[in-house]
Structure 1
Amino acid sequence: MNGTEAAAAAAADLAAHRAGVTISELHGLDEMLEARRVLDRVWRPDPANPLITPELLRVFAHSGSYVVGIHRDGRMVGFCLGFLAAAGLHSHIAGVDDSVRGRNIGFAVKLHQRAWALARGITTVTWTFDPLVSRNAYFNLAKLGAAPSAYLADFYGAMQDGVNAGTESDRLMVRWELTGEHAVRSAAGTPRSVTVDSPGAHTVVGLDARPDGRPAVGRRDGDTVLVRIPAEIETLRHTGPSLARAWRYALREVLGGLMAEGHTVTGFTRDGWYVIDRRQESQA
């Protein structure tokens, strides 16, 4: 184990200790059955259309992919699956029980995933997330330091699980360069922050909220473009589904459009803004 791998393993162990969990690879079919139960509790899929089968999970594990369970007090409370891909490792799905949310378990899992990948010579992890979910955007772009590489409109098509039903499945693809500056600083507990100038000649607002909460598409001609998303889109999907859809289409137009033109998302602010630099071109 070289110095980078050792440091990554130490950071992962510390994060798991602080979260009060153990994270380990799964192998047996009984473990895969329990993992499927965890996913069912978190995502609430249609029983006729499971997210994944225990048999397929066992194949992934047997073939060398990342299949781990998160345990607390002897009970599996979370699960994560990543499979080998062209870029390195693609992290496909993860979830933890509501009973243990807010304990930084997600951060512990990502650091475990980073250490696991580096130990196998893998230096890039990719995954997707819903770009309208503010807490996930902050976690992925700021706390972990991952970089958006593509906006994928309605990537999965119509979904029927209890979390995503009724909304188009737009996703933001991100790349996490595990030996890069941002990942290293993240593992040490330092989030990636971005400095945002006040709107003016060089910094413009591409998407904001009107007083009634509806999205307002603005300018996209500045050096820096700020793109707002709602604080609680998951609640809005239940209380105002038509408004939630309006935000989906507005974000697809503005953020998706800017990324399609090759511009770089440089970060996400704590108060809900994507920051796009039109002077840089994406390397995706």
Structure 2
Amino acid sequence: MTTLSAIGTSEDLVEDARQAARAAADSSGITIRLLHQVEEFSEVVALFARIWTSDVTQGPVNTETLRAISKAGSYLAGAFDGDKLVGAGMGFFAAPSQQALHSHIAGVDGRMRGRNVGFAIKAHQRAWALGEGIHEISWTFDPLISRNAHFNLVKLGARASKYHRNYYGQMSDVLNGGDDTDRLLVRWDLLSASVAAACHGKPATLESSAHRADDAQTLLEPSAHDEPTVRKTDAALVLVRLPNDIEALRRSRPETASRWRSALRDSLGALMDDGGRVLGFDSSRRYVIDTQAPYRPPVVSEAC
């Protein structure tokens, strides 16, 4: 890990993070700001309800909780396209000794897909956190959704920390589809040079030969019909491949989607339980896991 002393002073790092956040927002054509008013909280509640459910009265957050989060000084920000709220994120402080924030929920209006609004929100969150003296942000995501794995592990440079089984219990919203809520916990080292580079649009990548080594073996992959296929392996470097579109499978073939949940739990989850390190996520929708060696951070690419 690259430490703060190798990057510059604390003030330098905060200013660099703010520049990256402004550039990300400008590139997305949005503005991002902290939210403080009840009317704004109501907009966030409605936005998240549209994203996660088909019932605008039963979203994942409520106005009262957002008021408490804001009053306590934790993170609550909105992304605006003109005057319209199109994305938001919230997080709360961990124990004081950890100098950390847990990012609980973030979402973007589906009509904004492809404009990197989610990336801009995370860059803003990092800049704000550094300004508050926070050194780490953690959050969870569904490890079966490949675009989320790429976003978190590649584009943001977060590091997979722990596999949690049925973390929230069963959720019947439109995104989770009644499936168990297994989650991958990731940690974002805000003092890392590779994370700083990622926020400037230069994400870290796996070493080009890391997952093409002769001894790399596939533990899990989809069949021709998108069924999970598990293979036996005792290799030091293991590949776990995701289905093409787990969200579509949850709608059209829920039993197959459930089998994928079990297969990923018994592959990626079991490897991480045994000390395996997720080195990254590649362009073929594969987690790359080192089952033996200590964690080696990916190499920063020169390409944007």
User: d(CA) in 1 for partners of 2:119 and 2:94?
Assistant: 22
User: In structure 2, what residue type is equivalent to 1:218?
Assistant: R
User: In structure 2, what residue type is equivalent to 1:265?
Assistant: V
Match of 2:24 in 1: 15
Q: How does 1:112-261 map to 2 (within 5 A)?
A: 112-194=124-206, 195=208, 196-198=210-212, 200=214, 202-261=215-274
Match of 1:270 in 2: 283
User: d(CA) in 2 for partners of 1:38 and 1:114?
Assistant: 22
Asked if the contact 2:48–2:59 (Cα under 8 Å) also holds between the matched residues in 1, the reply is: no
User: d(CA) in 2 for partners of 1:282 and 1:226?
Assistant: 16
Deviations 1:11-34 (A, max 9, x none): 000000000111101111111111
1:188 Cα deviation from its structure 2 partner = 2.2
Give the total of aligned pairs: 282
TM normalised by structure 1 equals 0.95
Asked if the contact 2:159–2:188 (Cα under 8 Å) also holds between the matched residues in 1, the reply is: yes
Greater shift in the superposed pair: 210-219 or 84-93: 210-219
Structure 1 unaligned segments of length 5 or more: list them. Answer: none
Greater shift in the superposed pair: 235-244 or 6-15: 235-244
Match of 1:101 in 2: 113
User: d(CA) in 2 for partners of 1:182 and 1:273?
Assistant: 21
1:45 Cα deviation from its structure 2 partner = 5.9
User: In structure 2, what residue type is equivalent to 1:166?
Assistant: G
Match of 1:2 in 2: 11
User: d(CA) in 1 for partners of 2:114 and 2:92?
Assistant: 26
User: d(CA) in 1 for partners of 2:174 and 2:124?
Assistant: 28
Structure 2 unaligned segments of length 5 or more: list them. Answer: 1-9, 297-304
Asked if the contact 2:50–2:56 (Cα under 8 Å) also holds between the matched residues in 1, the reply is: no
User: d(CA) in 2 for partners of 1:219 and 1:180?
Assistant: 36
1:187 Cα deviation from its structure 2 partner = 1.5
Match of 2:92 in 1: 83
Structure 1 residue matching 2:115: 3-state secondary structure: coil
Asked if the contact 1:149–1:282 (Cα under 8 Å) also holds between the matched residues in 2, the reply is: no
TM normalised by structure 2 equals 0.89
User: In structure 2, what residue type is equivalent to 1:210?
Assistant: S
Structure 2 residue matching 1:2: 3-state secondary structure: helix
Greater shift in the superposed pair: 268-277 or 83-92: 83-92
